[in-house]
Structure 1
Amino acid sequence: GDSKYGMTPKQITEAYRIMMSKGVKHFGIHCMAASCCLDDNYYPKLANMLFKIVVEMKKLGINIEIVDLGGGIGIPYRPSEKAVDIHAIGEGVRLEYDSILAPQGIKVAIYTELGRWITGPNGYLVASVHGRKDTYKKYVGLDASACDLMRPAMYGAYHHMTVLGKEKDEPAGNFDVVGGLCENNDKFAIDRALPKTNYGDIIVIHDAGAHGRSMGYNYNGLPRCGELLMNERGQVKLIRRSESLDDIFATFDVDEDFNYQS
């Protein structure tokens, strides 16, 4: 396919042989095959493929100790989507292990990278309305931008959003919900049905716990927002302050005596 990841089965075998010839003693295998998959069968099917590679490598004298199934387990960004059954997924992987590896007497450690599944639903980007415009389209402008949540701007990802206190209000139309960057793709939503909004209304963008702050950046010299953490008792603590202009320039270092003239 067109993925930048991985290698062909033939290349995998050759790669292990090269590493063995250079004295490598411990081996693992890792796969990055999907992103935000809501199919409970995805992980078991992937495990089946990787476990079979482990068996084939064993025949060549290559003992793989770690199988990393990577990430790929998704979350339901849209209200109409159904969450995965993580217990059914785990049981499916176990059945593949017992069917393929156990009969060969092979034991491996199984790793996963479920960052999105763990953090995604537990984070929200909270912004306020500070602009409205009605031209060729209707726009709602926020005091947040793609600097705070890049996914919608980068590849059109959907994030559900609600206007606090107006969750049950009827839509007043379809709006593009945008940030203030000088990039036309700085949009959190396109043609999204929303209730009537006023200046100062709070809009909550859901499922922003993954690929939010970690993908943040300082385009246009904008400082990134802070982060608040709520514990199980409902107590809230500031765990990361908002950036300042001093932070933006903290890594800028030019000697005052530097001669700019040629």
Structure 2
Amino acid sequence: MYGPLIDAHIHFDQYSLPAQARILEELKRFNIDALISVSTNLSSSKKTLDLASQSPHIYAAAGFHPEQALPKEQELSELQQLIFEHQEDLAAIGEVGLPYYLRKENRDIPLEPYIEVLESFIRQAAALRKPLALHAVYEDAAIVCELLEKHSITKAHFHWFKGSKAIIDRLKHNGYFISVTPDLLYKERTEQLVQMYPLTHIMVETDGPWPFEGPFQRNMTHPKMIHETIRKLAAIKKMRIEEVYSQLYENTKRFYL
């Protein structure tokens, strides 16, 4: 028997049309109440808003994913205007953050312009009182924390988070949320994070269509995988699975919906 769940971070617009249809058709079967569908740029944000208008189970977030070349000034302006005009239709601003992996590939990429873009989204989130869906891992998370603290942001979600104990403690102290993916079933690092973080501030996600390994290898990433994540999470926390389902659901509902 499946408890109810919400996929707290999925790139639904990146799935093929047949895959989108399959997932939506199977939501009820797998007791999936909602998908928090994040965006990667202006075009993606428009698609995500359109998808959300077609299904009561899709909740849109609009933003600019940092692991790509910086947006042109015109695109950034249009994206932030879109967010302003559709603020009532948006569950959050995201995915936004800093380009950790892009800079690992190319050390010559300057960080400061990305910080400026991120801060512009943080200011907009503060003005519109919208939650932030964040891509900020390892040492980048400390920079993002400074910006969030500067603008008194309390509703921050660090998706698929990875980082040191010091930054984990800082996130906990600030009351920020993290989320974990199905890699909890085969990544020791993710298991250690779950052990350290309070269940009251954890969500679960797929980051689909990103593929997973272990028991999910060669399978299309589907929100139903989260049920396996929750079983593992309950075992790590040594809690009744019904309690874990309930807490995770309430966490995500309170944060986004």
- Regarding TM over 0.5, the answer is no
Structure holding more helix per residue? 2
Q: Higher strand share goes to which structure?
A: 1
